[in-house]
Amino acid sequence: MRNGLILLILLSGLAACRKDPGLQVDDVDGPFLLELPVGAPPLPVPDANPLTKASVSLGKALFFDTRLSRDGSMSCASCHHTDRAFSDTLALSLGVNGSPGMRNAPTLANVAYHPGIFRDGGIPTLEAQVIAPVQDDLEMDHSLQAAAESLSVDEEYQRLSQLAYGRDLDPFVITRAIAAYERTLISGWSRFDRYLYQGQAQALTESERRGWDLFRSDALNCMACHNGFDLSDHSYQNIGQYLAYADPGRARITLDLADEGKFKVPTLRNIALTGPYMHDGAMATLDEVIDHFASGGQAHPNRSPLLTTFALNEQERADLLAFLHALTDERSIDQVP
């Protein structure tokens, strides 16, 4: 009891000494209790990086910290906007040098469920993924070590780092904390979820329900890949976007020409918010996307055999679009205070 009182007073004293008023997280003890939507599979969390209040709070603060970039101009959130389900509005995000990146920044919603990170799946874990944007000269163009050194002067960061990982803030902590935060970005709060997983038939309009029927029809065959809770099987598919791809896609990782032009099937959650679409952001609207799939795509040798051609009348197109809009979450996917 006496020790607890001393600790409390000591912590209060430390808090009073804080120089940076920007970050102040009070409730940081214990595990972070993530609320999973009905229908969501158990969250895969590595034993070595558990979700704690300290780890996810630290990760969130780092996610929005521009000191992770070489010139202090951009953070992770610069390309993963909270109001866009953590995706970007640009076809190709701009890095600190003003030059466009290689690919369209995808939504981070449900990224915890992805077996491989990035559109080519080349990064095995969220922890390893953090290194890439920080050190990529087309993105933040910084050194993770240098970033850690500049961030470690922040006393609140150090406090959270010690609480979460028992060590001072360093590249290890940065990668773990940001990964922990990203793992909490769970989408599953749309009207479609209420309709499908909670039996609320009225959650969707008639038009949206017709769109859902079209979506799961054999004629459109969307669900061949866009299935499961994340509306993606996370497989790699060539959708015949080009006859010759400037970006090798999955083949960059596997070095197998049979994988050229294949990219990870994206989630359709919040699809109305995450345009422009495709790996290079080449399609600005959902109408363009529907047109592409209706055409069956171009005859690339690796084009997925799952693609079909189809035709939609005006009403069917409107219904399909309405359904896709019903996949937008009704609440924030960010649960970290």
Partner 1 sequence: MRQRSILHQLFVVLVLPLTLVTCKQGQPVPPEPELIGTLRVVIRPTWDGMPFHMNEVYHNVSDYRVKVEALKFYLGDVRFVDDGFFAAAKDVSYFDLQHDGDTVVWNNVPTGTWTSLRMGLGVPQALNDADPIVYPPGHPLSLALGTYWTWATAYRFVMFDGRYDLDGAGTGPVQQPFSMHTGVNVCYREFDLPLATPLVVNGTSTSTVVLELAVDRFFHSDGEVLDLATENQTHGNDPAHVVALKLTNNVINAFSAQ
Residue ranges that bind partner 1, judged by CB under 8 A: 118, 120, 122-124, 127-128, 131-132, 135-136, 143-146, 171-172, 175, 248, 251-253, 255-257
The alpha helices in 184-260, defined as continuous H runs, are 191-197, 206-215, 251-254
Nearest-approach distance from CB 11 to partner 1, in angstroms: 29
Identify which of residues 18 and 252 has a Cβ nearer to partner 1 in the complex.
252
The residue whose two tokens read 């997983």 is 197
**Choice between 10 and 257, CB closer to partner 1:** 257
CB of 282 to partner 1, least distance (A): 20
Per annotation, catalytic residue among 139, 156, 260, 316: 139
Which residues have CB under 8 Å from 116's CB, separation 6+?
Answer: 122, 123, 124, 234, 264
Contact between 279 and 251 under an 8 Å Cβ cutoff? The reply is no
Full 3-state SS string of 192-203: HHHHHHCCCHHH
Write out the two tokens for 49: 């990086």
Q: Which is nearer to partner 1, 133 or 275 (CB)?
A: 133
Shortest reach from residue 260's CB to partner 1, in Å: 9
Length in residues, the chain: 337
Residue whose CB is less far from partner 1, 143 or 332 = 143
Count Cβ atoms below 10 Å from residue 274 Cβ, excluding itself: 24
At closest approach, how far in Å is the CB of 149 from partner 1? 9
Q: Are 9 and 1 in contact (CB under 8 A)?
A: no
Rounded CA-CA distance 98/244 in Å is 27
72: left (phi over 0), alpha (psi -120 to 50) or beta: left
Amino acid at residue number 54: A
State the angle between helix axes of 155-165 and 2-17 in degrees (0 to 180), rounded to the nearest 10: 140
Nearest distance, CB of residue 296 and partner 1, angstroms: 27
Q: What SS3 class is residue 319?
A: helix
Catalytic residue list contains 260: no
Give the DSSP per-residue string, 3-39: HHHHHHHHHHHHHHH----S-------SB--PPPPTT
Q: Which is nearer to partner 1, 131 or 272 (CB)?
A: 131
Shortest Cβ 167–partner 1 spacing (Å): 12
Least distance CB 142 / partner 1 (angstroms): 10
Nearer to partner 1, 50 or 171 (CB): 171
- Cis check for the bond before 276: say yes or no (omega within 30 of 0): yes
Does residue 99 contact residue 124 with C-beta atoms inside 8 Å?
no
Which CB, 251 or 268, lies closer to partner 1? Answer: 251
Query: For residues 39 and 10, what is the distance between their CA atoms, to the nearest angstrom?
Result: 44
Residues that are catalytic: 139
